[in-house]
Homo-oligomer: A and B are copies of this chain.
Amino acid sequence: MRIEILCTGDEILTGKTVNTNYSHIAQRLSEAGLEVYWGTTVGDDRVSLLTSFRQAAARADAVIVNGGLGPTVDDLSQEVAAEAAGVSLVLHEPWLARMEAFYARRNRPMPPNNRKQAMLPDGAEFIDNPIGTACGFAVTIEGTRFYFTPGVPREMRQMLEEQVLPRLLDNVGLQGVTRLKRFHSFGIGESRADEMLAGIKALAPGGGVKLGFQAHYPELETKLAVRGADQDELDRKLAPIETEVRRRLGNFIVAEDGQTLEAVVLGGLRARGGSLALAETFTGGAIASRLLQVEGADEVFRRGLVSRDPTELAAAVGTAAREFSPATALEICLALQQQSGATHTLAVLVTMERGAEAAEAGGAITIGLISPEARIVREARLVGGREWVRLGAVEMGLDNLRRHLLGLPTDERLDFERR
């Protein structure tokens, strides 16, 4: 089944807003095993909309339209959908009542404009929006089914998962349940991960598992998209593959699904009643920032210290180092531990190297880690320009702590290290 994604709105057309709705919809369709065939973007313009609806109907088997369901005069999707389908607009009473209740709960009168959002093409299939005032709907235009979704990303995403994807899968006779299992790893590149997981799809009883990767440096996301008759079947298909992915990618997996590396680290500390103090250099507060964005981080995170200068950093903890070295890293950790009383202290020291071109510069990283059980130093030379080294050093510092907390080796070689 060929699916077209049709995005509407002047803000998207003129590039004022980056079209992340498109990429989200396309990604979810692809993960569910559906074929994205065409993408179209048009503005809030009646003629463009009508033309694009007709062309999409001619070339695609299903169309997802995004945007144009708001209360203002620019929002033309319902109106043009009705025109293209050759029907009139009619009031959808239940949705009007839902909107009125929505405003009543907030003790505000419903603006009269919002009534427009309950006007749907005659005969349209209602698609619920549990969190906003723009309901969706489906109509058939020249033999092709069109699914209309709102432009607000949060609303679109929930409706896509709960309402649109199941309908599309039904239409193509695919079994109705899908799941996406995600592994986040650090230290292996996409092509090596692909090699490491060779043949893995064959482990699913009955097939129906799709393997994909998405690199967001420094992490790599490995995705298993599964389809099955019901949740039990998904469990049966996924279980052997999940186990095998964990076995093969092993210690490089830093988190799964909605988890993050920083939350895993904080969880590990919390589980043993631990606390953390941190010294950063070139990463400039980015390690602290990642940790402290996790809710509840303040129960575990004692303090962070940032300075680019070795002497200054040492002075701040009352020692007298002059340069970044393994000895300095441990010295800073120790002083920081005494000063803060934290059970765990981490120091991530970076010295940038100068290459012929910025992208070839690279950085030398020294990580010090002191816990009640160990004193560890890890050295590495990461490839890449300033931003690349910064991101890599943040991740490597956090990952060393994770590995130590989980009893894993902290000296496994990463693909991003210079030989």
**13 A-B pairs (CB sep. < 8 Å):** A13-B26, A14-B27, A15-B36, A16-B23, A16-B27, A16-B30, A16-B214, A285-B289, A297-B308, A301-B308, A302-B309, A303-B316, A312-B340
Q: Say whether B284 contacts A293, CB under 8 Å.
A: yes
**The one of B14, B22, B214 that contacts A19, using a Cβ cutoff of 8 Å:** B22
CB-defined contacts of A307 to chain B, threshold 8 Å: 301-304
**The one of B25, B38, B55, B286 that contacts A15, using a Cβ cutoff of 8 Å:** B25
A380 CA to B7 CA in the complex, in Å? 40
Closest 10 CB pairs of A and B: A285-B285, A15-B26, A284-B292, A39-B41, A285-B288, A298-B308, A304-B306, A15-B27, A15-B23, A285-B289
User: Contacts A298-B308, A307-B303, A308-B297 known; A36 to B14 CB distance under 8 Å?
Assistant: yes
Q: How large is the interface on A (under 10, 10 to 19, 20 to 34, 35 or more residues)?
A: 35 or more
Closest Cβ neighbor of A51 among chain B residues: B59
CB-defined contacts of A171 to chain B, threshold 8 Å: none
A243 touches B (CB below 8 Å): no
A23 CA to B12 CA in the complex, in Å? 7
CB-defined contacts of A340 to chain B, threshold 8 Å: 312, 315-316
Q: Say whether A48 contacts B37, CB under 8 Å.
A: yes
A313 touches B (CB below 8 Å): yes
Q: Say whether B284 contacts A288, CB under 8 Å.
A: yes
A355 CA to B372 CA in the complex, in Å? 40
- Scan A1-45; emit 1 where CB is below 8 A from any B CB, else 0: 000000100001111111110111111111000001111111100
User: Contacts A30-B14, A40-B39, A41-B38 known; A309 to B298 CB distance under 8 Å?
Assistant: yes
Chain B CB within 10 A, most for which of A59, A285, A303, A313? A285
CB-defined contacts of A55 to chain B, threshold 8 Å: 55
Distance between A17 CB and nearest chain B CB, rounded to angstroms: 7
CB-defined contacts of A20 to chain B, threshold 8 Å: 18
A89 touches B (CB below 8 Å): no
Q: Say whether A22 contacts B37, CB under 8 Å.
A: no
Q: Say whether B41 contacts A14, CB under 8 Å.
A: no
Distance between A357 CB and nearest chain B CB, rounded to angstroms: 10
CB-defined contacts of A197 to chain B, threshold 8 Å: none
Interface residues of A (CB under 8 A from B): 7, 12-20, 22-30, 36-43, 48, 51, 55, 59, 214, 278, 280, 282-289, 291-293, 295, 297-298, 301-309, 312-313, 315-316, 339-340, 386, 390
Distance between A46 CB and nearest chain B CB, rounded to angstroms: 14
Distance between A318 CB and nearest chain B CB, rounded to angstroms: 10
**The one of B19, B24, B286, B315 that contacts A289, using a Cβ cutoff of 8 Å:** B286
Q: Say whether B292 contacts A308, CB under 8 Å.
A: yes
Distance between A287 CB and nearest chain B CB, rounded to angstroms: 7
CB-defined contacts of A305 to chain B, threshold 8 Å: 303-306, 316
**The one of B14, B36, B285 that contacts A304, using a Cβ cutoff of 8 Å:** B285
A42 CA to B340 CA in the complex, in Å? 57
CB-defined contacts of A15 to chain B, threshold 8 Å: 22-30, 36
Distance between A290 CB and nearest chain B CB, rounded to angstroms: 8
Closest Cβ neighbor of A15 among chain B residues: B26
Closest Cβ neighbor of A2 among chain B residues: B48
Distance between A166 CB and nearest chain B CB, rounded to angstroms: 19
A303 CA to B308 CA in the complex, in Å? 8
A18 CA to B339 CA in the complex, in Å? 46
